[in-house]
Amino acid sequence: MPHTAEADSDALSPGAKRGRPGYDQDSVLNVAVQVFNKHGYDATSMGLLAENLGISKSAIYHHVPSKGDLLRLALDQALVPLEAISEHERARTGTAEERLEFFLRSTIRVLIERQPYVTLLLRLRGNTEVERTALERRRAVDRKVADLVVEAQREGTLREDIDPRTTTRLLFGTINSMVEWYRPDGPADARQVEDNAIAMMLDGLHTRNL
Amino acid sequence: MPHTAEADSDALSPGAKRGRPGYDQDSVLNVAVQVFNKHGYDATSMGLLAENLGISKSAIYHHVPSKGDLLRLALDQALVPLEAISEHERARTGTAEERLEFFLRSTIRVLIERQPYVTLLLRLRGNTEVERTALERRRAVDRKVADLVVEAQREGTLREDIDPRTTTRLLFGTINSMVEWYRPDGPADARQVEDNAIAMMLDGLHTRNL
């Protein structure tokens, strides 16, 4: 699936094509997240956003009351689907090993589908209340994976000679790095990248394990 | 091994303790890399560096002719040991699988020993010639690992159902993430983190592979 600004906007805003002229809130978000990622949230002024949107500052305020609200809405585009993973049936049934694999695969999918929004989330510095709340929500998601690693070690499906905290960080390190290098028009498609990452993390690269 | 600013300085500058008063070049580098990492290279002025060093701007120029030279010297602290890996005997002998493991382990060690300098390298934006030259040297190191992945697939020790380019990026994603979370005073020491990362990447987390 090609991942363009337009595709994003459609995915996030089912009503975007109803013929309303100008921007809707999701299209504003779409441009805002790119400006935030390019310049950093702190360095982005409402004036710079208006310039990139090609509209006036007062027109932005028609969509959102403040820069902080824009950030909060943009971060929700990453956090809501990440938080939804643990609500899924497959995150609640089966062995810890199966649930861990479901979590990792689902996280990779959200990351690829919402790449600019997850990039924004991962680069947060925590300077404002909106940022700190988002980071706390992200940590809560991370803790679910950390708990699954421990649970899978206890049930005997994950090796015991690894430190669960280090392993959780390595898992997120591997997955989160994708926001920096995954390209929808690259040589490997989203499903191949997902399968490749799962193959490495859970089964290892050595043929002797196959 | 505790990794403090002082330990760094000693490691990088054997002559640092000969009793010369004030800063030597390595101590200047040590502070400079922290300021670069905190504020970003572009946003760091010689004035800000002088402020952090507690010396005058002209005193900095006694050590290095320009901010660009300071960056180049700091990046060398990461790049020289990374480039040295491929010169080692163990990078040249044995199976591709053995050489790949040696490369990965050595890279993790450099990253942990030179953490602030590797952080600086990984965050480069490529806005200046010094940055672009460093990024080209980093890519040359990355290509050696990519070549080893292909070679190990050909010799049959690395699984064939993986894309070598994706795998190389996942390997570096896993390793490079350490600069963001590894803490020398954390629960796992450097050797445990290295073994844990190698265990996950090459053998996988599943017990069924053991």
Residue A116 pLDDT > 80: yes
CB spacing of A206 vs B158 below 8 angstroms: yes
CB spacing of A174 vs B173 below 8 angstroms: yes
| Cβ neighbours for A137, distance < 8 A, ≥ 6 positions apart | A79, A83
DSSP state of B162: S
Q: Write out chain A residues lying below 8 Å of B201, CB-based.
A: 200, 204-205
Per-chain mean pLDDT for chain A? 88
Structure token pair of residue A46: 């409402």
The residue to which tokens 């649930």 are assigned? A99
CA B194, distance to chain mean position in Å, is 14
pLDDT-wise least confident of A140-149, A164-173, B55-64? B55-64
* DSSP percent split of chain B into helix, strand, coil, nearest 5: 70, 0, 30
Mutation site for A-interface testing, chosen from B122, B159, B194 by largest number of A Cβ within 10 Å = B159
The pLDDT score that the predictor gives to residue B2 is: 41
Residues in chain B: 210
In contact, A112 and A193? CB cutoff 8 Å: yes
From residue B99, alpha-carbon distances to A33, B87, B89, B96, B129 in Å are 42, 12, 10, 5, 32
CB spacing of A202 vs B205 below 8 angstroms: yes
pLDDT-wise least confident of A157-161, A187-191, B20-24, B104-108? B20-24
pLDDT-wise least confident of A5-14, A17-26, A93-102? A5-14
Residue A118 pLDDT > 80: yes
Q: CB-CB: which of B171, B197, B199 is closest to A161?
A: B199
The 10 Å Cβ neighbour count of residue B85 is 20
**B161: distance to nearest CA of chain A, Å?**
8
Give pLDDT < 70 ranges for chain B. Answer: 1-22, 209-210
- Report how far residue B33's alpha carbon sits from residue B121's, in angstroms, rounded to the nearest whole number: 10
Interface residues from chain A to B (CB-CB < 8 Å): 97, 156-163, 165-167, 169-178, 180-181, 187-188, 192-193, 196-197, 199-210
The pLDDT score that the predictor gives to residue B43 is: 87
Q: Which residue of B has its CA nearest to A177?
A: B173
If we measure between CA atoms, which residue out of A205, A186, A210 comes closest to residue A1? A186
**Phi (first) and psi of residue B158, to 5 degrees:** -110, 140
A41-70 average pLDDT score: 91
| Cβ neighbours for B163, distance < 8 A, ≥ 6 positions apart | A187, A188, A192, A196
The pLDDT score that the predictor gives to residue B210 is: 58
Structure token pair of residue A24: 């809707």
* DSSP percent split of chain A into helix, strand, coil, nearest 5: 70, 0, 30
A143-156 average pLDDT score: 96
Q: Which residue of A has its CA nearest to B160?
A: A207
Dump the DSSP string for A151-193: HHHHHTSB-SSS-HHHHHHHHHHHHHTHHHH--TTSSS-HHHH
Residue A3 pLDDT > 80: no
CA B18, distance to chain mean position in Å, is 27
Residue A181 pLDDT > 60: yes
A63-73 average pLDDT score: 93
A80-91 average pLDDT score: 97
Q: Which residue of A has its CA nearest to B179?
A: A173
**A134: distance to nearest CA of chain B, Å?**
18
- Report how far residue A36's alpha carbon sits from residue A177's, in angstroms, rounded to the nearest whole number: 19
Q: Write out chain B residues lying below 8 Å of A208, CB-based.
A: 157
**B33: distance to nearest CA of chain A, Å?**
19
If we measure between CA atoms, which residue out of B4, B9, B54 comes closest to residue B30? B9
Q: Write out chain A residues lying below 8 Å of B206, CB-based.
A: 97, 157-159, 202-204, 209
The pLDDT score that the predictor gives to residue A209 is: 60
Residue A19 pLDDT > 50: no
Q: CB-CB: which of A156, A162, A177 is closest to B205?
A: A162
Q: Is B30 exposed, middle or buried (0-12, 13-18, 19+ CB in 10 A)?
A: buried
CB spacing of B204 vs A208 below 8 angstroms: no
The pLDDT score that the predictor gives to residue B17 is: 40
**B124: distance to nearest CA of chain A, Å?**
13
In the three-class reduction of DSSP (H, G, I as helix; E, B as strand; rest coil), residue B97 is classed as helix
Q: Which residue of A has its CA nearest to B181?
A: A169
Task: Grade residue A46 by pLDDT with cuts at 50, 70 and 90.
Answer: very high
From residue B210, alpha-carbon distances to B75, B120, B197 in Å are 39, 37, 15
State the maximum Cα–Cα separation within chain B, in Å, rounded to a whole number.
63
Residue predicted with more confidence, A12 or B33? B33
**A197: distance to nearest CA of chain B, Å?**
7
Task: Grade residue A62 by pLDDT with cuts at 50, 70 and 90.
Answer: confident
- Report how far residue B65's alpha carbon sits from residue B116's, in angstroms, rounded to the nearest whole number: 22
| Cβ neighbours for B119, distance < 8 A, ≥ 6 positions apart | B33, B37, B179, B180
CB spacing of B163 vs A199 below 8 angstroms: no
Q: Which residue of B has its CA nearest to A170?
A: B174
The pLDDT score that the predictor gives to residue A149 is: 96
A38-58 average pLDDT score: 91
In the three-class reduction of DSSP (H, G, I as helix; E, B as strand; rest coil), residue A206 is classed as strand
Residue pairs between chains A and B whose CB atoms are closer than 8 Å: 137
Q: Is B139 exposed, middle or buried (0-12, 13-18, 19+ CB in 10 A)?
A: exposed
Question: What is the interface pTM, i.e. ipTM, of the complex?
Answer: 0.84
Q: CB-CB: which of A169, A176, A209 is closest to B204?
A: A209
